[in-house]
Amino acid sequence: MNGIRGFRVPVLFTVLILFLVALILLFRNDGEKPNSSVGLVKQKWNSFESLVQFNPNVEFRNGTDVIWQIPDSPKAVLFLAHGCSGRAVNFWDKSPKCPNCIGLPEERLIVLHALARKFAVLTISSAGTCWSVEEERMIVKGIIEWWVEKYKLEKLPLVALGASSGGYFVSMLATDMRFSSITIMIAEGLFHQMDITKDYPPTLFVHMPKDEARKQQIDANLRFLKEEGIDVAEVKCMEFPLSPNFLADRIPGLDKTISMKLFDLFRDKGFIDKNGYMRADGRAMRLKAALRESKIILPDMHLVHHIQEELNLAFAYHEMTSLQSEEIFDWSSDAGASTFTLERGLNLQNFWKCAFDARAALFTLEPYLYWALAHPIWDIIFRCKDVDWILGFLGVLLERRLITAISNWNSSNASGLSLSGNEIRRGSGGRRGRPRRQEMPIPDEIPAQQEGVGQANVAEPVGQQAMGALAREMARALREVMGILRAENQAQAHVAEARPSFLMREFFRSNLDEFVGDCKEPLKADEWLEQMTKTFEMLGIEDGALKVTLALKGDVGQWWKFVRGRIVGTWEAFVDVFQEKFLPPAVREKLRDQFCQLK
């Protein structure tokens, strides 16, 4: 008897897990590409005009650009860290107060979302192409503290969001500053380089699962942080199809006529498939060459970068995104106490709102399932050789408990399940706790109560059979899920040793342009270097020697053989000598002036 009682908590826990698994299988849609736009707020570039306007302040402090805006009656403070090749000016539209601002579509929408939610927003530029975790942490910490004190924002929650290189930087900066929460976008963080304490802030990972290697690292960090007692959650960003008006909706200054021409161009060039999905990442497209051939004239040539960002977003491999801003700022506003974790309470209203769409239900349920599967009881099950026997035993217990529960409900006149038509609801008896939820529909397979037949008569024969069959199906589904999870655990052990070959394969699949080493074409040298930097960032390649090896193709490789004996073989050293050779300071200054003069 005591043994059975000892199983009470695990079995009840198993009931929850199996219920969630059954729902996921119910809503699963195999063979089709997920559409991440389902359930997401489709914000246009001018959606916030009636709520908030850009009015940033610009200052040069400690050798870097600092740009910020504080709304009336701010409720929180947000620090934004860009990715490699990014700058603070990317987050803000060009204006008299910020003439050099660029306003990339995703960055600017993140800021507008934040301002509309009454976040005071602070952006800082990195000193180099990417953030230097060791050298810049104290500089950025000092700037944030100076700014917060100057504008008397000390009493407000302080949160941070970093993308790619900025995500790594924010994950480490959180060990030096008291953030209420942090969001790490398209990065796994640097948790293997730090000692995590209990006061590490709640952490939200916003990532693109198409990047499988990074996804596995994020999954590992999610488990690690949970084990350390840190509130964590994830938001998965999936690919979605382009539409003729998509670019016009997202990019200021691009009208619908040009947007439709670009859509036709992408289709004619084979950049998108028949359903509008990107065939490759936007960085791998020769967009500028395609535009020249098509003779499509953009209002501003710098909009090429805006277009490429949106194409990267649609492909959903590695790009900053504003599409999930509602989830991000809900998380930030609640300082981690959101509906993403069962520890803080399952938000059923939010679940059922999404559950009517199959894909949205899948994305809503998945965080709950992964939280549940992290429970210590599963460590014991994983170590057992005869997993099927254990799961079968739990399935039998589950089946009996469900049938017993139905019998108990039938014998009670005050409460229980009342089946009527296509609805399931609580009985009208008194109840304690939270207020009653609104009635929620369930699948049509539940038989409707026939007229003149009492509740107990329907529930007993039909309910026992249906719930027993459901229990067996859920147990079988759980065995399948456990097998998948075990396979993932085994595969993860090989990630570290397989990653270099995987990265090299993905790099060469990108089909990047070669730079032949012509000193008379500095613009091509600049574009080539930028393309290489972004590709390394997208693939998460951090090994400097590997970067140099991958980058050197064609004549420039011969030049490198001549000079490499004089310098250390790192990517940073390579960039320095490359710019000295092909992009001297005078040329870079001239290119910068030309870019700033674009109208």
Most confident range (mean pLDDT) of 55-64, 517-526, 532-541 is 55-64
**β-strand 203-207 against 181-185: which pairing, if any?**
parallel
What is the rounded average pLDDT of the residues 24-36? 46
φ and ψ at residue 313, rounded to 5 degrees = -65, -45
The answer to whether 227 and 196 have CB atoms below 8 angstroms apart is no
What integer pLDDT is reported at residue 515 of this predicted model?
Answer: 64
Query: What ranges in 317-357 are assigned the alpha helix state H?
Result: 325-333, 348-355
Q: Cα 2 to chain center, whole Å?
A: 45
Question: In sequence order, what are the beta bridge partners of 78?
Answer: 121, 159
Q: What is the pLDDT, as a whole number, of residue 372?
A: 47
Whether pLDDT at 205 is above 80: yes
Q: Flag whether pLDDT at 439 surpasses 60.
A: no
Phi-psi group of 276: left, alpha or beta (phi > 0 → left; psi -120 to 50 → alpha; rest → beta): left
Backbone angles phi, psi at 534, to 5 degrees: -70, -35
Percent of the chain with pLDDT over 70: 54
Amino acid letter for position 352: W
pLDDT tens for 45-81 read: 777 777 899 999 999 999 999 999 999 999 999 999 9
Q: Which of 436, 400, 394, 435 is nearest to 418 (CA)?
A: 436
Does residue 367 have a pLDDT over 90?
no
DSSP result, 1-69: -HHHHHTHHHHHHHHHHHHHHHHHHHH--TTS---TTTTS----TTTTTTT-----EEEEETTEEEEEE
Q: What are phi and psi of 121, to 5 degrees?
A: -110, 130
| Per-range mean pLDDT, top range of 69-78, 274-283, 438-447 | 69-78
Check residue 512 and give its pLDDT: 58
Q: What percent of the chain has pLDDT over 90?
A: 40
Q: What is the pLDDT of residues 120-179, one digit of tens each?
A: 999 999 999 999 988 899 999 999 999 999 999 999 999 999 999 999 999 999 999 999
**Residue 17: predicted pLDDT:** 57
> Which residue ranges form the domains of the chain, and what is each CATH number?
1-31+342-413+440-493 (no CATH), 57-240+321-338 (3.40.50.1820), 246-315 (no CATH), 497-596 (no CATH)
pLDDT at 87: 96
- The continuous run of DSSP H or E covering 124 comes out as strand 119-124
Mean pLDDT throughout 279-308? 89
Mean pLDDT for 260-282 is: 93
- Which residue's structure tokens are 């306007």? 53
Tokens of 27: 């809503």
3-state secondary structure of 413: coil
Q: 275 to each of 90, 244, 256, 271, 481, how far by Cα in Å?
A: 31, 12, 20, 11, 31
Please, what's the b/e burial string for 245-258 (b: 16 or more CB within 10 A of its CB; e: otherwise)?
A: ebbbbbbbbbeeeb
Q: What is the pLDDT of residues 334-366, one digit of tens each?
A: 754 443 333 333 344 444 444 444 444 444 444
**pLDDT confidence bin for 481, thresholds 50/70/90:** low
pLDDT at site 436: 34
pLDDT band at 487 (very low <50, low <70, confident <90, very high): low
